[in-house]
Structure 1
C-alpha cells in the first residue's frame, strides 16, 4: 500500500458521481517547488489565482489551478504519481470536481482569497493551504460554507497526517460576495487552530531531520499530545511550547517524567518559573 494519496482512485470515484464535471487541482506552488515545470513539460493548461503570469518570481508562491489529466492521457500516470508524492504531506493541494471551465473556475476561486477581519482589515485568505481550508470550514456557518464551496460539487484535501478528507457541496450560481466577512470569534478560532503549524514550522528549523525523528504521518498526533501536556503544565507561549515539543523529540515521549524536567515543570506548574528560562539555566550548569 502506497504511503501517498491514490489520486487516480479519487478521480475515478468523482467521475462516477459527477460524470460531466472536470477534476481540478488547486496547488500551492510555494509548497511544491517544480510544479510549474511539471505542468509545462507535460503540456497541461494552468491558471494562477494571483493572475496568470509568466514571471517566475510571482509563480513561485502562487496558487495554481489545473485540470488533472484524463484517464487515457499518456502523461497521466507519471504526473499523478509526482503530484501525490509532493502533495500528500506538504499541505499544498486541494482537489475539486466542478462543471466550470478553467478560466471561470479560476475567477471564482480567486475572489475567495479576499477576506475582511476585525477593524475592517483586508487580508489574503490562503485557503488553498489545506490546513487553512480545514480550519476555515470549521468556523464558517452553514450558509457561509455553502456559498464559499459553491464553485464545485465536491472538495478533497489531505489533512496533516496525509489522510484525504472529502467535503460535499452543491455547485450552483455563484452568490459569493468578496471579501469574505469573518467575525472576531471566527478569526480567533482560526488563529488558535494554526498554533500547531507554527510549532511544527519552528521544530523543522530546529531539527532538519525532523521527518526521520518523527514520522510525518504521525507528527500531528505527536504535536497535539505534547502541546496538550505543555498546556496542562502551565506553558502558554508558543516559543515555550515549541521548546517542550523539541525536548520530546530529543529525549523521548516520557521525558517530562524524568529529572530534571519533572522538577522544572513542577516550578512552571506552580507559577514560580518560566519554562524556557529554567531550561536555559539548567543547560548553563552543564
Structure 2
C-alpha cells in the first residue's frame, strides 16, 4: 500500500520558508508512459512534453512532461499528487529558482548521451532510479548501481539550478537530491547532450539491466512472475544476475532464460541433478544456453 502521507517530509521542509518568500518554484517531471492521467486531470496547469520530437497525442501519452505546480501546497494538484503519485516512480518533484521555460531548456540539454563507442541514446532522468544512479544517492539502498555515473563537472552542471529534486525509491521512501540552486537565466543553452566514457556507458547499461529483464519477464513470461509484487521481483532478479554470470552467462537472452529456469524449478533449482548437470555443461562451455533450454524443455515435454 502506498504511503499517502509521504509528501509530509517535503511539506515540512518548506513550512518555515514558503517557496514564494525564498524565490523558489515547484515543478513536476511526470512520465506519461507510466501513468498519463495527469494529462487530463492536471490540464489546468502549464504542461509541456519534454521531447519535442514526440508529436501527436499518442506519442505524448508515452513521453515525459514538465508540469508547473503551485507554490501553495493547499492547491488541488498537491492533493492529486498525494493521492495518485506518492510512493510511485511515475513523477519526481523539482524545486528551483528557475521559471518554467528556463527549467525546460535546462533539462533538454541533458536528454542526449553520446558514448565513446559512437552509440547515442536518450537519458531518461525522469525515471527516478536512473536519476538517483546518475547523481549518486547514498541513502537509497534500493539502487542496483549506486553511482554516480556523472563525473563531477557533469553532475554540477546538471544540478546547478536545482535547489532540490525529490523522488520515491522502490520501497516508496521519499528522497531529496540537492543542487546548488544557482541562477542560469543568462546562460547560453545547448542541446548537444552529454558525452559518456566507456566506464560510464557500462554503468548505465548495468543500472538499467534489471528493469530490462523484468520488462521481458512480464511481457513474455507473465505467468511465472504474476504472484510477485514489484519489489519482490526486483530483488529476485538482482540476486539472480550474479548467479547467472557465475555460469558464464552475460547476454540479456541468456540471463533471462536462466532466471526463467530459477522461476520454473523454484526450490528444486539446486537439488535437481539433471538441471545442474546441464548448467555445469554451460559453465564448462560445452553447450550454449539455447542448447540447454532446448534440452530441458524437450525433457519436460
Q: TM-score range by the shorter chain?
A: 0.7 to 0.9
How has the CA–CA distance of structure 1 residues 75 and 65 changed in structure 2, closer, same or farther, with 3 Å as cutoff? closer
Aligned: 1:192 with 2:234: no
Question: CA 1:141 to 1:18, structure 2 compared with 1: closer, same or farther past 3 Å?
Answer: farther
The corresponding residue for 2:63 is: 62
Cα displacement (A) at 1:190: 1.0
Question: Which runs of no fewer than 5 residues in structure 1 stay unpaired?
Answer: none
For structure 2, which runs of at least 5 residues remain unmatched after alignment? 136-147
- 1:24-43 aligned at under 5 Å gives the runs 24-40=27-43, 43=44
1:164 aligns with 2:179: no
Match of 1:141 in 2: 151
Normalization by structure 2: what TM-score? 0.81
Offset at 1:5?
Answer: 6.2
Question: 3-state DSSP class of the match of 1:153?
Answer: strand
Q: Deviations over 1:69-93 (max 9, x none)?
A: 53322454244311237xx1xx432
**Deviation (angstroms), 1:52:** 10
**Which has the larger share of helix?**
1
Please state how far the C-alpha of 1:219 moved relative to its aligned partner: 2.4
Inter-CA distance 54–211: structure 2 relative to 1 (3 Å threshold): same
Structure 1 residues 220, 53: closer, same or farther in 2, change over 3 A? closer
- Partner of 1:23 in structure 2? 26
Of 72-81 and 227-236, the range deviating more from structure 2? 72-81
Deviations 1:94-117 (A, max 9, x none): 222112222221121122213332
Matches within 5 A, 1:1-286: 2-4=1-3, 6-16=5-15, 19-20=18-19, 21-40=24-43, 43-51=44-52, 55-69=56-70, 70-84=72-86, 88=88, 91-118=89-116, 122-137=120-135, 138-174=148-184, 178-208=192-222, 212-252=226-266, 255-285=269-299, 286=301
Q: Determine if contact 1:38/1:79 at 8 Å carries over to the other structure.
A: no
Q: How many pairs does the alignment contain?
A: 279
Q: Quick one: distance in 2 between partners of 1:171 and 1:210?
A: 46
The answer on whether the counterparts of 2:6 and 2:173 sit within 8 Å (CA) in structure 1 is: no
Contact 1:159-1:165 at 8 Å conserved across structures: yes
Q: Distance in 1 between matches of 2:166 and 2:99?
A: 19
**Alpha-carbon contact 1:256-1:262 (below 8 Å) kept:** yes
Cα distance in 1 between the residues matched to 2:111 and 2:17: 26
Q: Is the 8 A contact 1:161 1:218 kept in 2?
A: no
- Deviation, 1:233, is 2.0
Q: CA deviation at 1:202?
A: 0.8
- Give TM-score, length-normalised by structure 1: 0.84
Pair 210,100 (structure 1): closer, same or farther in 2 beyond 3 Å: farther
Question: What displacement does 1:225 show?
Answer: 0.7
**What is the CA-CA distance between 1:181 and the residue it aligns to?**
2.1
Distance in 1, matches of 2:160 and 2:129, equals: 20
**Taking structure 1 as reference, are residues 231 and 162 closer, same or farther at Cα in structure 2, changes over 3 Å only?**
farther
Report if aligned partners of 1:5, 1:162 keep a CA contact under 8 Å in 2: no
